[in-house]
Amino acid sequence: MTLWQVDDPANCVPFDRRGNVGLHHLALKVVNLSALETLHTRALAWPGTVIEFAPQRSSKGTKMRFMVREPDGTRIEFACISSAQ
C-alpha cells in the first residue's frame, strides 16, 4: 500500500466521494470488540484525528465499526465481528 501526499496541500482539491474518483476509505479488520474500543480510545487522543462516528453496529448484522479521518484527511474504518447484541 502506498499513500501519496500532494505537492501543494493548501491548493489541492478536497475529496468528494460523490464528485471525485479516488479512495473513499481504508477499512481494517480488528480481532474483537475490546480491541475496537481500545483503538477508538487511542484515536480520540491522537492530535489532528477526527472521529466521524464512535463504535456502532453496522446495519442489523454483527459488524461493529468506527470511522476516523486522520490528519492528512484519509478516512479509516476499523471494524470487527461482535457476538454482543
Q: pLDDT of 24-81, one tens digit each?
A: 788 999 999 999 999 999 999 999 899 999 999 988 889 999 999 988 788 899 999 9
Give me 15's grid cell. Answer: 475529496
Cell of 44: 480520540
CATH number for the domain harbouring residue 42: 3.10.180.10
Instruction: Look up the pTM and report it.
Output: 0.72
Report helix, strand or coil for 53: strand
Q: Indicate the SS3 state at residue 84.
A: coil
Sign of CA dihedral 13, 18, 21, 23: positive
Radius of gyration of the chain (CA): 14
Q: Supply the range of the domain harboring residue 42.
A: 23-81
Domain assignment present for residue 10? The answer is no
54 within a domain of the structure (yes/no): yes
Task: Confirm whether 4 is domain-assigned.
Answer: no
Express each pLDDT in 45-54 by its tens digit.
Answer: 999 899 999 9
d(CA 78, CA 59): 15
